[in-house]
């Protein structure tokens, strides 16, 4: 009798406590509630102050930014500076080597900046345009799309995620390429992939040893012969130990050529050759591996990608609309966290590149407490995440 009296008294004084664990309507602690959430996107690209810009220090008429790939370096410290050399009468009717341009060509008084050496096989018809919109012309007054050379200068370095060790650097090019590295004050040739040819893999005479502190000056000589296809890509592969090759074309896919073998000539997408290289440890050298020469910065670099004004713009029962802005066109995605169960889910990616983002969530559970984060990625593959904000439908 005493135990029953105490139990009934407890039920009368603390009814909420007595039924807290058995109330089926309290779904805050149930797992799996994120599965019902759906997301739809709306966005647009704005112009003006919301979109990032580049400062050319009043030298826009002499500056050309990444004319072959239309990408930008992640910072002013990254990239390559190039000279543009055009063909002239002293070179004769036949050009079979990039050194013909280097020794006899006419250097244009323009500064060409690149984020990386990554131009998969494709046609080149747009020519070179300065930042004032003026197209560069050849000796006959035609748009410059063939019979030119580029002399790239930069410093090769490891990125944060690259392991120290011995690296083999190779070239995929159409037409000729020669790569030189500076060691102990002397320029030594590493790759000779020269001559008129379709996309061909040219490999080095030896590996180079790289540590996190290594800053290896490089000079890449490239030329584009007759129209229209163009390729210029540097790839590398880490080896377990230093290696040398008396005949560089006798291993891997070195010496293989064809304008559809490594990449599709119609769209630049990787083909069977490039897929094989990646499976065997090769990868394209990224923009973070190129450091601008000393005393030089890259004016064609981008400001950091940023998310601003991330907020809940509308809320009604089981739906919510979130909005944010990016300073460059970028994709849209949301990360949603259940604050009671700590489960999380990512919405599907909207790959449309916009600067004004809006995402409508449906299937939210009333009474639940969520945290939401905006995620955007731009054309340079730079990702940025917002702060987490609370969402309580």
Q: What is the pLDDT of residues 338-347, one digit of tens each?
A: 988 889 999 9
What number is the average pLDDT over the span 91-104? 91
pLDDT at residue 22 greater than cutoff 50: no
Which domains, ranges and CATH numbers included, belong to the chain?
A: 30-48+303-391 (2.60.40.10), 60-291 (2.60.120)
Cα–Cα distance measured from residue 215 to residue 183, given in angstroms and rounded to the nearest whole number: 10
How confident is the model over 168-223, as pLDDT tens digits?
Answer: 999 999 999 999 999 999 999 999 999 999 999 999 999 999 999 999 999 999 99
In 10 A of CB 43, how many CB atoms? 22
How confident is the model over 254-299, as pLDDT tens digits?
Answer: 999 999 999 999 889 999 999 999 999 999 999 999 999 988 889 8
Beta bridge partners of 189: 180
Looking at the chain, the whole-number percentage of residues with pLDDT higher than 90 is: 60
Looking at the chain, the whole-number percentage of residues with pLDDT higher than 70 is: 89
What is the pTM for the complete model shown? 0.69
Contact between 62 and 134 under an 8 Å Cβ cutoff? The reply is no
Computed over every residue of the chain, the mean pLDDT equals 86
Confidence of residue 47 (pLDDT cuts 50, 70, 90): low
Tokens representing residue 259 in the block: 């304008």
Tokens representing residue 173 in the block: 């090019």
Cα–Cα distance measured from residue 326 to residue 353, given in angstroms and rounded to the nearest whole number: 10
pLDDT at residue 55 greater than cutoff 90: no
Q: Which of 140, 72, 122 is nearest to 290 (CA)?
A: 72
pLDDT computed for residue 24 by the predictor: 35
Place of tokens 């603390």: 14
Q: Which of 360, 382, 119 is nearest to 262 (CA)?
A: 119
pLDDT at residue 117 greater than cutoff 80: yes
């Amino acid at each position: 009798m005493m135990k029953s009296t105490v139990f009934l008294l407890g039920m009368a004084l603390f009814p909420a406590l007595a039924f807290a664990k058995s109330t089926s309507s309290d779904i805050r602690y149930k797992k799996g509630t994120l599965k019902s959430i759906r997301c739809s996107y709306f966005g647009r690209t704005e112009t003006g102050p919301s979109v990032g810009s580049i400062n050319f220090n009043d030298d826009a008429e002499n500056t050309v930014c990444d004319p072959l790939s239309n990408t930008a370096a992640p910072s002013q410290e990254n990239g390559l500076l190039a000279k543009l050399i055009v063909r002239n009468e002293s070179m004769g009717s036949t050009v079979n080597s990039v050194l013909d341009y280097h020794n006899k060509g006419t250097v244009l008084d323009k500064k060409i900046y690149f984020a990386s050496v990554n131009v998969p096989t494709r046609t080149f018809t747009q020519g070179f345009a300065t930042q004032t919109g003026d197209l560069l012309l050849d000796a006959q007054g035609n748009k410059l799309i063939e019979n030119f050379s580029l002399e790239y200068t930069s410093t090769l370095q490891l990125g944060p995620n690259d392991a120290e060790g011995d690296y083999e650097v190779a070239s995929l090019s159409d037409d000729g390429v020669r790569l030189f590295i500076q060691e102990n004050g002397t320029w030594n040739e590493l790759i000779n992939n020269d001559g008129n040819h379709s996309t061909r893999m040219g490999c080095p005479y030896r590996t180079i040893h790289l540590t996190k502190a290594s800053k290896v000056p490089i000079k890449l000589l490239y030329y584009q012969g007759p129209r229209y296809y163009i390729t210029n890509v540097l790839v590398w592969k880490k080896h377990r130990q230093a290696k040398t090759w008396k005949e560089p074309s006798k291993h891997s896919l070195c010496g293989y050529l064809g304008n559809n073998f490594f990449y599709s000539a119609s769209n630049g997408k990787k083909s069977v050759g490039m897929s094989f290289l990646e499976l065997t440890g090769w990868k394209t050298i990224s923009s973070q591996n190129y450091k601008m020469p000393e005393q030089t910065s890259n004016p064609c670099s981008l400001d950091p990608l940023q998310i601003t004004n991330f907020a809940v713009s509308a809320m009604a029962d089981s739906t919510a609309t979130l909005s944010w802005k990016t300073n460059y066109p970028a994709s849209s995605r949301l990360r949603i966290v259940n604050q009671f169960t700590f489960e999380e889910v990512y919405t599907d990616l909207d790959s449309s590149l916009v600067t004004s983002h809006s995402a409508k969530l449906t299937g939210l559970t009333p009474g639940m407490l969520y945290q939401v984060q905006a995620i955007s990625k731009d054309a340079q593959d730079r990702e940025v995440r917002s702060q987490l904000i609370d969402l309580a439908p």
